Structure 1
Amino acid sequence: MKILQITFILFAVLPILCFSYCSEDVCHNTLYSKTSFKRDDDSIIFVYINDPDGTNKRGTFYPTVDDFTVLRINEFGCTYGENENVTISVGVNEDERSTFVHYSKDKRFVGYYTVIVKLDEGKIDKIFWDDSIDKSDCPDENAIDDFCSLSLEDYDDCKSNARDLKVFVAWIGTDSDGDYMTSANTIPSRFKRFGVSKVVNEAADLGEDIF
């Protein structure tokens, strides 16, 4: 599996893709124990993959605070396929984590997740999933842990973009300078509320048609 991190920079309404980079020494030595953040700081975020039938894994990413970013693990579907026991969680500095959620169930899988990091004066308050799905577009039978899912039959190629594990990361609250985070304004569910359905419908195919 390959790990990819993409950051979205807003210009007008449409995001543009670019890559974020942080040197390994700086990231691990400086960020691992960091407990207070302000906008444009580097951060360290982990994606935990819990597989009761195999080996648990952890992906490491270095997004910029208050940048709307997607954390992506390529060919995730090839590795875990229809394993309904696999769950994922997102954590910052290993001290704070989201709850674990499932990737697949009943021949369906989650095309993307959105996680929100809430800061309170720069300190991490909590990390939680944005699971505000639209029931009109995603009935209960198509939801996995309150995330809208896709049919494996429609995406039978495990190497397709849709089958990659994708976690959108956004920030809310205030940083250590008291400035408010703004990146949550660009999460897919917010676009959905304004009727921009293309963003939501194609978020799972990130890298092909979206944006």
Structure 2
Amino acid sequence: MLLLLILIHTFNCLDLKCVSNDVNETYTRGDHLTICIHFIDIIKQIGKRLAFDVKVDRYTALYAKNSYSTLKVDGLTNHSIAIQVNKHALISPQLNYVINSTNVYPIYSLVINMQDGNVTDLIWDNGCWDSSMECSDYNVTNSKGEIFSDSNNYYKECTKEVDCDAKFYISFIGTDASGNYMESAGKRISRFRQYAISDMFSSAKNIFSGYVDEIRT
């Protein structure tokens, strides 16, 4: 379900806001939770926000339909992506989405870390598994100023714009407010690194057809 898309006037992490009607700070498995995906123009320091409703500990695929073509109309270049959960000040490190009009990173895996039902961290769990795409290693700085390495697949050229729309796998790890352990993180793609999974990763793109949302102005 598409909840909201608005302009952001800065990409400073302190100024990014995620709209939510939730009043509780803690969650149990099955509770509804809002995540906001920020599409940030690094040069112009403006962006768009897309909000999704997900269930805690449900492995979910989110497809931001037409995100590539919508941003392209605005002069698509140098866009990054960051994810925020509900009212929490926590926000994920910013990752590249579009370096220029051709180099596009379309698929992301995010693990939401909870402790006793509180969101404590947002962890990127990306990797390079699709042999049909290019692979890139790079350094990422989180909100604490800590630097870590990441890798992801990207397209050099978008022959089909739908392939370059942003797509996200969301999973959870840790414990909920009742002390139950999260189970969805066991399904994240990195769990299968020991196998020959490039074909599985390519096929997994198809599951997004069940979770279609549209980025709009």
Shared fold, TM over 0.5? yes
TM-score by length of 2: 0.70
State, as a whole percentage, how many aligned pairs show the same letter.
24
Which residue of 108, 119, 135 maps to 2:114? Answer: 119
Tell me the equivalent position of 2:194.
193
Q: CA deviation at 1:122?
A: 0.9
Structure 1: which amino acid aligns with 2:174?
G
Q: CA deviation at 1:53?
A: 3.1
Post-superposition CA distance 1:157-201 (Å, at most 9, x none):
32x2x2111111100001111111010111122234333432212
Tell me the equivalent position of 1:53.
44
Tell me the equivalent position of 2:71.
80
Question: Whole-Å Cα distance in 1 between the matches of residues 98 and 197 of structure 2?
Answer: 26
Secondary structure of the equivalent of 2:44? Answer: coil
Unmatched 5+ stretches in structure 1: 5-26
Tell me the equivalent position of 2:84.
91
With CA pairs under 8 Å and 6+ residues apart, which has the higher RCO, 1 or 2?
Answer: 2
Unmatched 5+ stretches in structure 2: 4-18, 139-149, 210-217
Aligned pairs, number: 178
Q: CA deviation at 1:57?
A: 1.2
Post-superposition CA distance 1:40-69 (Å, at most 9, x none):
111111111111437421111110000001
Preserved contact between residue 45 and residue 61 of structure 1 (Cα < 8 Å): yes
TM-score by length of 1: 0.72
Q: CA deviation at 1:84?
A: 3.8
Secondary structure of the equivalent of 1:108? Answer: coil
* Higher mean C-alpha displacement, 102-111 vs 38-47: 102-111
Preserved contact between residue 191 and residue 199 of structure 1 (Cα < 8 Å): no
Tell me the equivalent position of 1:130.
125
Preserved contact between residue 111 and residue 123 of structure 2 (Cα < 8 Å): yes
Preserved contact between residue 88 and residue 100 of structure 1 (Cα < 8 Å): yes
Preserved contact between residue 188 and residue 199 of structure 1 (Cα < 8 Å): no
Question: Whole-Å Cα distance in 2 between the matches of residues 126 and 54 of structure 1?
Answer: 25
Change in 2 beyond 3 A, CA 1:152/1:79: farther
Secondary structure of the equivalent of 1:195? Answer: coil
Structure 2: which amino acid aligns with 1:157?
K
Q: CA deviation at 1:131?
A: 2.8
Q: CA deviation at 1:156?
A: 1.7
Change in 2 beyond 3 A, CA 1:115/1:84: same
Preserved contact between residue 53 and residue 85 of structure 1 (Cα < 8 Å): no
Matches within 5 A, 1:139-158: 142-143=135-136, 145=138, 146-153=150-157, 155-158=158-161
